[in-house]
């Protein structure tokens, strides 16, 4: 296993859309192990996306197992994640391994439904809320070439000005 280099802004790969994972082999699983080691090596990151280490494939890891007070599904490897349903909206603070020394407020959907695959290609489905839903939305954004600073809003922003969560460009 190896700790991979985290790309930081303005690296051009961070702005690119990642391609779906099609081959679920040992090489993929070895990469997942490296990505997990990379997530754990830095400052306390709850999530990481393959794009952040320069591999443009739709793959992310989130781990909220250290936060028992927050509803969550623990440690998750999500391959080809697809958010199929958004509901509600919530303002929350985010930071990013790829944007050091900055945190900002971002509006995210409060509840989501999600389809994905596990490291062997088996289908997964989740319903998530709050902080965990935020984590997935932040990481899926990476796979679409978006950073949280593309969505950041002023701390004085009135949450109720926006009625629906919109995908960028939507």
Partner 1 sequence: MSAWNMLALVGEDKPGIVAQVTDVLYRHGWNLGEASMMRLGGNFSIMMMVQGTGGKEVLRPLIEPVAQALGLRFHVFPIHGGLHRHLVPNIQVRVNGADRAGIVAKVTGALAQQGFNILELDSDVAGTPERPIYIMCIQGFAEATVEALQAAVDAAKDTDIQVDVSPIETFIG
Indicate the helix (H) or strand (E) that contains 107: strand 99-108
* Shortest spacing between CB 79 and partner 1, in angstroms: 17
Active site residue 139: yes
| Interface region with partner 1, contact rule CB under 8 A, candidates 3-11, 14-22, 110-118, 130-138 | 130-138
Contact 39, 130 (CB under 8 A): no
* Shortest spacing between CB 54 and partner 1, in angstroms: 16
Should residue 33 be labelled a site residue for partner 1 when binding is judged by CB under 8 A? no
Helix ranges (H only) for the chain are: 26-41, 130-143
Chain-centre distance for alpha carbon 106: 13
Should residue 96 be labelled a site residue for partner 1 when binding is judged by CB under 8 A? yes
Token pair belonging to 6: 């985290």
Place of tokens 């990151």: 45
Q: Which of 48, 77, 107, 112 lies at the binding interface for partner 1 (CB under 8 A)? A: 48
Q: Which of 22, 44, 169, 170 lies at the binding interface for partner 1 (CB under 8 A)? A: 44
Contacts of 170 (CB under 8 A, 6+ apart): none
Should residue 28 be labelled a site residue for partner 1 when binding is judged by CB under 8 A? no
| Interface region with partner 1, contact rule CB under 8 A, candidates 11-19, 75-83, 128-136, 161-169 | 128-136
Contacts of 4 (CB under 8 A, 6+ apart): 34, 35, 38, 53, 54
Should residue 2 be labelled a site residue for partner 1 when binding is judged by CB under 8 A? no
Q: In this complex, which beta carbon is closest to partner 1, that of residue 15 or of residue 24? A: 15
Chain-centre distance for alpha carbon 138: 4
Q: Among all residues, which ones are annotated catalytic?
A: 139
What residue ranges bind partner 1 (CB under 8 A)? 43-49, 62, 67, 70, 92-97, 100-103, 131, 134-135, 138-139, 155-156
């Amino acid at each position: 296993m190896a700790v991979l280099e985290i790309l930081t802004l303005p690296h051009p790969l961070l702005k690119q859309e990642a391609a779906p994972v099609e081959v679920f082999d040992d090489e993929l699983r070895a990469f997942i192990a490296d990505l997990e080691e990379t997530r754990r090596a830095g400052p306390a990151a709850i999530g990481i996306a393959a794009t952040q280490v320069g591999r443009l494939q739709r793959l992310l890891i989130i781990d909220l197992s250290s936060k028992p007070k927050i509803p969550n599904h623990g440690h998750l490897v999500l391959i080809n994640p697809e958010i199929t349903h958004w509901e509600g909206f919530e303002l929350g603070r985010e930071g990013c391994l790829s944007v050091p020394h900055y945190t900002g407020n971002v509006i995210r959907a409060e509840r989501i439904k999600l389809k994905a695959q596990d490291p062997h290609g088996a289908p997964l489905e989740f319903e998530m809320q709050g902080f965990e839903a935020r984590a997935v939305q932040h990481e899926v954004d990476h796979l679409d070439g978006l950073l949280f600073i593309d969505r950041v809003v002023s701390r004085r922003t009135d949450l109720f000005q926006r009625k629906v969560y919109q995908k960028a460009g939507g």
